[in-house]
Amino acid sequence: MSDTREESINAGRFLVVGTQAGGKTALVTKLAARTDQSMRYEEDFGGTIETEYLRISFDEGKFFSLLLPVGGQEKWQKLRERFGSTAEGMIVILDSCTKKFWVNSLSQASSISSFLPYDNYPIAAVITKRDLNDVIRKEAENFAQAIMEGLEQAKTAPIVYYSRGFRITERKIHLLSDVLPFTTLEQVIVNSLESKYFSNLVPGNAQQGKVLLPGFSLVNCRIFSRALTQELCTSTGGDQMQVLSLLNDMRPSMLELDTSWVDLLQKYPKAGAEPQVNMAELSVDVIKKAILNNLLASETDINNFTSELKTLSSKTGWKVSGHEHLSIFEEEGLESGAALINQMMVDVKESVRVDKFNLFNPIEELF
Ligand SMILES: Nc1nc2c(ncn2[C@@H]2O[C@H](COP(=O)(O)OP(=O)(O)OP(=O)(O)O)[C@@H](O)[C@H]2O)c(=O)[nH]1
Ligand SMILES: [Mg+2]
Ligand nearest to the Cα of 21, by number: 1
- Section 71-83 average pLDDT: 89
Quote the ligand 2 centre to 307 CA distance (angstroms).
26
Query: Best mutation site among 132, 137, 218, 326 for ligand 1, i.e. most ligand atoms within 8 A of its Cβ?
Result: 132
pLDDT at 121 over 80: yes
Confidence (pTM): 0.93
Which residues have CB under 8 Å from 106's CB, separation 6+? 92, 305, 308, 309
Q: How many helices (H) and strands (E) does the chain have?
A: 13, 14
Quote the ligand 2 centre to 241 CA distance (angstroms).
22
Alpha carbons 104 and 19: distance in angstroms, whole number = 6
CB-based contact 320:123 (threshold 8 Å): yes
Atom number of ligand 1 nearest to Cα 19:
25
pLDDT tens across 127-167, in order? 999 999 999 999 999 999 999 999 999 999 999 999 987 78
Find out whether the beta carbon of 105 lies less than 6 Å from any atom of ligand 1: no
- 305, amino acid identity: F
- Residue 181's CB is within 10 A of a number of other CB atoms, namely 18
- Residue 329's CB is within 10 A of a number of other CB atoms, namely 15
- Residue 92's CB is within 10 A of a number of other CB atoms, namely 26
Ligand nearest to the Cα of 101, by number: 1
Quote the ligand 2 centre to 21 CA distance (angstroms).
7
Quote the ligand 1 centre to 51 CA distance (angstroms).
18
- Section 254-265 average pLDDT: 93
Quote the ligand 1 centre to 250 CA distance (angstroms).
15
Find out whether the beta carbon of 238 lies less than 6 Å from any atom of ligand 1: no
Quote the ligand 2 centre to 17 CA distance (angstroms).
9
Which residues have CB under 8 Å from 365's CB, separation 6+? none
Find out whether the beta carbon of 20 lies less than 6 Å from any atom of ligand 1: yes
Backbone dihedral angles phi then psi of residue 170, each to the nearest 5 degrees: -80, 130
State the pLDDT at residue 9: 54
Atom number of ligand 1 nearest to Cα 333:
31
pLDDT at 361 over 90: no
Instruction: Report the nearest-CA residue for atom 9 of ligand 1.
Output: 23
Atom number of ligand 1 nearest to Cα 48:
23
pLDDT at 219 over 50: yes
State the pLDDT at residue 357: 52
Find out whether the beta carbon of 22 lies less than 6 Å from any atom of ligand 1: yes
Quote the ligand 1 centre to 236 CA distance (angstroms).
30
pLDDT tens across 298-332, in order? 999 999 999 999 998 888 889 999 999 999 999 99
Query: Best mutation site among 128, 135, 248 for ligand 1, i.e. most ligand atoms within 8 A of its Cβ?
Result: 128
Residue-averaged pLDDT of the chain: 90
Domain ranges of the chain: 13-129+298-366, 132-295
Which residues have CB under 8 Å from 71's CB, separation 6+? 20, 47, 48, 49, 50, 79
- Section 243-266 average pLDDT: 93
Is pLDDT larger for residue 22 or for residue 44?
22
Quote the ligand 2 centre to 364 CA distance (angstroms).
38
Atom number of ligand 1 nearest to Cα 214:
1
Alpha carbons 340 and 337: distance in angstroms, whole number = 5
CB under 5 Å of ion ligand 2: residues = 24-25, 48
Q: 254-281: b or e for each residue (b if 16 or more CB lie within 10 Å)?
A: bbbbebebeebbeebeebbebbbbebee
Whether domain 13-129+298-366 has CATH 3.40.50.300 = yes
Task: List beta partners, residue 171.
Answer: 161
pLDDT at 6 over 70: no
Backbone dihedral angles phi then psi of residue 7, each to the nearest 5 degrees: -105, 125
